Structure 1
Amino acid sequence: MLRRPKILAALAAVALPITLTGVSSGGPPATAAPLPAPAAVAATAYSAAAAKYGVPESVLLAVSYAESRWDDHGGAPSTSGGYGPMHLTALGASEVADLSGKQKVATADSLQTLDKAAKLTGLDASALRTDTTANINGGAAVLASYQKSLGLPVGAETSPAEWYGAVASYAEAGDKVAAAGFADDVYSIMARGAARTTNTGQQVVMPAVAVTPDKAQVSKLSLPAGVKPSTSNVECPPSLGCEWLPAPYSEFGTAGDYGNHDLANRPKTGKIDYIVIHDTEGTWQGVLNLVQDPTYVSWQYTMRSSDGHTWQHVKANDVAWHAGNWYVNMHSIGIEHEGFAPQGATWFTESLYRNSAKLVKYLAAKNDIPLDRAHIIGHDQVPGTVPSTVRGMHWDPGPYWDWEHYFDLLGAPIYGHNVFPVKAGSIVTIKPGFQGNVQVVNNCDAPGTPCTPQGTNFVYLRQAPDDNAPLVKDIGLHPDGSDGTTDVSDMGSRAAAGSQYVVAQRQGDWVAVWYLGAMGWFKSPASTPDAFAKPGLVVKPKAGKASVPVYGRAYPEQAAYPANIPYQTVTPLQYSIGAGQAYPVSDLNIETDYYRAVTFAEQPPADHVQVIGKDRYYQIWFGHRMAYVRAADVDVSPAI
């Protein structure tokens, strides 16, 4: 969508928090790399630490699971500076500098549990970061100190019900609502029980414990009460404790310039089809400062990494400027998550994942959005609007966002069952796992350097069924026709978890799928598959058509526009679907429309109009992003 000249330049420069970095032309073959081998730690470390510091083992295990799912991440910090399975935090100087006033004092104090653990245990801070046993001991000591500070009994034999206040304190939250939300998560984990193999290969089991915690203990915490959504301005589930921090809808500069979103009346002015997952590429306070700048852009929610605390900025019925594609903006809600897509050594926290899933489930239910990867999408799935914008589209949350775990938390696991055979003509869903799926990625921290090995959410696609074959081409990202690369920002040769494709061929362990108008090959042995077949609908070019175009937006035909609204040209992207190819349908019922909103007003004026067309489109899976095809160009049929 075109806006006034001055703001157009600003939007082009800052519309998204990540810019596409220079794509490398080479690099090592994109085969899986081994993880470093950290020292294995037996699950008995939890029982030993619980006994030593007087914490019920079930409480210690459940807190650790809620923080990290018991992974130590090889000693690498989380996006909020937390380490190890207990997520002991050490706020860096840059993060402290990013805060102001009372926030700086309160947050810097709460986000220093690693130093607190060092004082309580006598262990070196370096050991607490990198040694899993030391980290578990540090977390147990901090929990016990919180229990004592509340004047409550300490001892491994004490009832887990008596530890609610200490668990809430461990959240490092900014208010009692958020702290209680974390404690509720911990006790729900305790009630269900859990078992998994950690990143060090250790099997940890936590039996289910039925307990009714003393929630009144949260009143003893020295924290502000917080805002409950039921009595505030925000649109959030009650357990999340969101705050309202409005993005400015205001005029600035010369006449006609305004920011940083548009008033609307969704779903009457366009239904909400998508929730877009972003990461901030900055720390939370800096991002909150940006969203309050009328010359910048906007999104509906920001979520802090350390505790999943959430701010809402734009109402769901209004249109935020966050996706870099006006059609997707018209039909989506954007959530920014504190984190850094290119920094391969960091990891997104479990608190962030869990609270984000709570928010997405709430918004999806409220707006009738399907809980699948075609509608709960990454910013990296948003297509370019016209050929010239494809290369500059953004790629967050990036290769290190665990889509499989995220959809487990949403209660809508990504499909992964060997029920149907994977054969030519079938639809397959990519599910490579995350923890053990370590793909070669480059240039996270500096040009020409490999990224720290860790789990990734994708498989690479090659031009032939050979480990040494070049990666598939993406003419949108590489207009010169060069091969795909392993650069962290180069999404052009990747099939991410949850994405769907139609099988073109199969040769032994190798599967070829239709991808960006050509075939892309990946290895998926029957014994350890990375893709699973499922029923569904596919689109193919109508008989007699050598190829059909694909589009980055579903805009109306020219005849649909009133005389006072300029026609928004329907422009195909640089890709096409050739005869004999097929792509999965991800939505047959999208709106063909354009929301005209180019003037400032306190209420949506008469010229804020939804133009609705008669030319139907379908949303399809196409390469690493979604795309749209005209219904008149294709036939829809069940997959084989």
Structure 2
Amino acid sequence: MFPLLGAAPPDAAAEASSARLQSAFATAAAEYRVPQSVLLGVSYLQSRWDAHDGAPSVTGGYGPMHLTDARAALAGAAAHSEAEGDPRGDSSRRALAPTTKVPRESQLPARLKSLPRAAELSGIPPEELRTDPAANVRGGAALLAEAQKSLGKPFSSNPADWYGAVAKFSGADDTATAATYANDVFAVIHDGERRTTDAGQRVNLAADRSVKPDAAQVRRMGLRASDETGTECPRTVSCEWVPAPYEEFGDGDYGNHDLADRPNDQSIDYIVVHDTEGSWDTTLKLVQDKTYLAWHYTLRSTDGHIAQHVKAKDVGWHAGNWYVNAKSVGLEHEGFLAQPDSWYTEEMYRASARLVKYLAKKYDIPLDRQHILGHDTVPGTTPAGIKAMHTDPGPYWDWAHYFTLMGKPFEPSAGPRGGLVTVDPDYAVNRPTYTGCVKAGDTCEPHGSSAVRVYTEPSEDAPLIKDIGLRPGGEPSTTGVNDMGARLSTGQQYAVAERDGDWTAVWYLGQKAWFKNPRKQPTALNAAGLVVEPKPGLTDVPVYGRAYPEKEAYPAGITPQAITPLPYKLLEGQRYVLGGRTNGEYFYSPTFDTTSHRVVRGNDVYYEIQFGHRIAYVRAADVNVVESAA
């Protein structure tokens, strides 16, 4: 049978299909007279050109252009990852819980309602803008064209002439944020990008090293000037000071953080990544409530704007573990854990990565998953507190991309005999089943994930690993989106216990935990490093959720803190990756009057280890440190 004349071969048809989005950018650029590189650059900074199957971002943004219609996203979120513990993580204060309300449509700023405006300008129905990537690109082009017109600028073919329109597209209401956003878009245009999207679309933005935008356009837009006075941020982000109150409000109670003198009085060892479980405006109200809690920074998803609330020298109440609080900086990211299709903008990832890299350099914090913690990897302080620990930012935070933006991508550091693995699944392809995103027991929508599930045997039909801290009765872990009991996370390192074909076992919560690690599509990288193991003669070693000093270290007048082991054991023959070494330490600060504050240091030495999904501590007296390949 002869082929029809003019018919394209199957591979050519597939090629054309995968280029639909690239064509959509070209068509929309021509229709609205927006330079194609500007349209591509803005879209990359919004979504990396991904469509997310029409699902909204954490701020209700849709499609490659992140056109926002936010109220529905805010209405569907559960508060604070279902945890009920006190984020201060110390018994000197009562636990506090937030009260959040979904704002009315009239209360939402324009940056959260760009999709309805795009519908008005383009004549495209809102539902089509949400679900059709090509329509979404047209809607974004319409918004850029409107911005250019409102600024009185010509519809030039020179991308540099669109700097002000790009800044306005961000929705930022202050000069610094608008300029930072525009600078990042034009950095993408300058350097170029090439990527295959989540829908298999190949998109290319050729580098244009000649583009030189007029930054003065933003200064003439009449935006407000944010208060950057006293902020501790890199120059490459927009940052303003929105202070958390340090006030006494009766009965010896005070809020919402503690004054200190870090790193002079105690080191800063960790940065803790959170999500807000609320909108930007609601979150800022909470951190300014003297009766509530405080963290150091909040990051806005739409444009990466940063608000600093507490000086890095001071101790925020955010992590649910007083030892970690005293030695960490807390970053809240506008978002919701239990909305699997919610996604963060590229600009927020970039702003956060720059901030973390800046803080890590300033305070000598290693850029690894033992020190850049998710709130979900902070340990409980006592057996009773394990269930109350928070689970954000959860399995949908893209740790691999985050660390790549910090210039520390996860890479193999050894061969298969190195003794360790670094968890590193392909985020887009890795889609484990979760439940409970909307209703308990109901299956969540499939979505890319940074997490890998672990089983008792090398089979997906085997029971999940048990977490006796979460379930003292010995029940297996579940697939619940907030269940951390049987979950490895991207970037975490574990000691290899055994290999069996496409499966790898690691030591985890005192057990041999199996995860699928196919040779053709590995979910972990081979690595080597230092591990701890019980000293000879010890069959098991206690595990702790904080590294507190021995009672002899406390001066008169300060009650020694209990050194309470968690219900887990590090057993003979097992190894766990070493994260750091520290002497026992306790920050005593039970009163508003800082004259009583004191850092108690002991002689006991602790090692931080990656014990399960969360980190933990063991006493140096109980373990030996050895090379993983030994």
| CA 633–369 in structure 1, closer or farther in 2 if over 3 Å, else same | same
Residue correspondence of structure 1 range 118-517 to structure 2 within 5 A = 118-155=119-156, 158-210=157-209, 211-227=211-227, 229=228, 232-254=229-251, 256-415=252-411, 417=412, 420-423=414-417, 426-517=419-510
SS at match of 1:238: coil
| 2:592 match | 600
TM-superposed CA distance for 1:527, in Å, is: 1.6
Give the share of equivalent positions with the same residue, in percent: 53
| 1:35 match | none
Cα distance in 2 for partners of 1:119, 1:81 equals: 18
Cα distance in 2 for partners of 1:244, 1:104 equals: 26
Would the aligned equivalents of 1:537 and 1:637 in 2 still touch at CA under 8 Å? yes
SS at match of 1:550: strand
Cα distance in 2 for partners of 1:404, 1:315 equals: 28
SS at match of 1:51: helix
CA RMSD of aligned residues (A): 1.9
Would the aligned equivalents of 2:584 and 2:604 in 1 still touch at CA under 8 Å? yes
Cα distance in 2 for partners of 1:394, 1:221 equals: 42
SS at match of 2:109: helix
TM-superposed CA distance for 1:265, in Å, is: 0.5
Letter in 2 for 1:147: Q
Would the aligned equivalents of 1:40 and 1:200 in 2 still touch at CA under 8 Å? no
TM-superposed CA distance for 1:447, in Å, is: 1.6
SS at match of 2:525: strand
Cα distance in 1 for partners of 2:395, 2:73 equals: 25
| 1:627 match | 616
CA offset digits 1:148-189 (Å, max 9, x no partner): 21121215xx11111111111111112111000101111111
Would the aligned equivalents of 2:549 and 2:585 in 1 still touch at CA under 8 Å? yes
Would the aligned equivalents of 2:340 and 2:446 in 1 still touch at CA under 8 Å? yes
SS at match of 1:592: strand
TM-superposed CA distance for 1:60, in Å, is: 0.9
TM-superposed CA distance for 1:421, in Å, is: 3.1
Letter in 2 for 1:330: A
Cα distance in 1 for partners of 2:506, 2:73 equals: 45
SS at match of 1:628: strand
Cα distance in 1 for partners of 2:23, 2:338 equals: 35
| 1:10 match | none
Letter in 2 for 1:440: T
Would the aligned equivalents of 1:282 and 1:340 in 2 still touch at CA under 8 Å? yes
TM-superposed CA distance for 1:293, in Å, is: 1.6
| CA 99–488 in structure 1, closer or farther in 2 if over 3 Å, else same | closer
Would the aligned equivalents of 2:238 and 2:305 in 1 still touch at CA under 8 Å? yes
Cα distance in 2 for partners of 1:66, 1:309 equals: 14
Would the aligned equivalents of 2:583 and 2:604 in 1 still touch at CA under 8 Å? no
Cα distance in 2 for partners of 1:432, 1:372 equals: 17
Would the aligned equivalents of 1:114 and 1:128 in 2 still touch at CA under 8 Å? yes
Cα distance in 2 for partners of 1:572, 1:543 equals: 21
TM-superposed CA distance for 1:598, in Å, is: 0.9
Q: What stretches of structure 1 of length at least 5 have no aligned partner?
A: 1-37
TM-superposed CA distance for 1:141, in Å, is: 1.4
| 1:523 match | 516
Cα distance in 2 for partners of 1:119, 1:310 equals: 31
Would the aligned equivalents of 1:99 and 1:285 in 2 still touch at CA under 8 Å? no
Question: 1:113 aligned to 2:114?
Answer: yes
Cα distance in 1 for partners of 2:193, 2:521 equals: 24
Which one is further off, 381-390 or 233-242? 233-242
SS at match of 1:49: helix
Would the aligned equivalents of 2:553 and 2:601 in 1 still touch at CA under 8 Å? yes
| CA 99–618 in structure 1, closer or farther in 2 if over 3 Å, else same | same
CA offset digits 1:425-482 (Å, max 9, x no partner): 7111000021111110001011221111111111100000112111100101111101
SS at match of 2:117: helix
Would the aligned equivalents of 1:150 and 1:220 in 2 still touch at CA under 8 Å? no
Letter in 1 for 2:409: P
Letter in 1 for 2:607: Y
| 2:546 match | 553
SS at match of 2:544: coil
Would the aligned equivalents of 2:110 and 2:171 in 1 still touch at CA under 8 Å? no
Cα distance in 2 for partners of 1:172, 1:410 equals: 26
TM-superposed CA distance for 1:239, in Å, is: 3.5
Q: What stretches of structure 2 of length at least 5 have no aligned partner?
A: 1-16, 76-99
TM-score, normalisation: structure 1: 0.89
Would the aligned equivalents of 2:19 and 2:203 in 1 still touch at CA under 8 Å? no
Cα distance in 2 for partners of 1:109, 1:546 equals: 62
Question: Which of residues 69, 73, 88 in structure 1 aligns to 2:67?
Answer: 88
Cα distance in 2 for partners of 1:550, 1:93 equals: 43
Cα distance in 1 for partners of 2:239, 2:103 equals: 20
SS at match of 1:565: coil
Cα distance in 2 for partners of 1:61, 1:52 equals: 15
TM-superposed CA distance for 1:100, in Å, is: 8.8
Letter in 2 for 1:597: S
CA offset digits 1:108-157 (Å, max 9, x no partner): 334322122112211111100100000011111111111121121215xx
Cα distance in 1 for partners of 2:346, 2:366 equals: 23
TM-superposed CA distance for 1:494, in Å, is: 0.5
TM-superposed CA distance for 1:200, in Å, is: 0.5
CA offset digits 1:516-536 (Å, max 9, x no partner): 000110111112111111121
Letter in 2 for 1:212: K
CA offset digits 1:541-588 (Å, max 9, x no partner): 000100111111111111111112111111111111111000111113
Would the aligned equivalents of 1:91 and 1:108 in 2 still touch at CA under 8 Å? no
Cα distance in 2 for partners of 1:119, 1:288 equals: 31
Letter in 2 for 1:138: G
SS at match of 1:315: coil
TM-superposed CA distance for 1:39, in Å, is: 10
SS at match of 2:565: coil
Cα distance in 2 for partners of 1:409, 1:167 equals: 22
Cα distance in 2 for partners of 1:506, 1:168 equals: 52
Would the aligned equivalents of 1:269 and 1:595 in 2 still touch at CA under 8 Å? no
TM-score, normalisation: structure 2: 0.90
Cα distance in 2 for partners of 1:104, 1:414 equals: 44
Cα distance in 2 for partners of 1:113, 1:445 equals: 26
| CA 439–505 in structure 1, closer or farther in 2 if over 3 Å, else same | same
SS at match of 2:604: coil
Cα distance in 1 for partners of 2:139, 2:507 equals: 51
Would the aligned equivalents of 1:380 and 1:395 in 2 still touch at CA under 8 Å? yes
| 2:599 match | 610
Would the aligned equivalents of 1:422 and 1:503 in 2 still touch at CA under 8 Å? no
| CA 39–75 in structure 1, closer or farther in 2 if over 3 Å, else same | farther
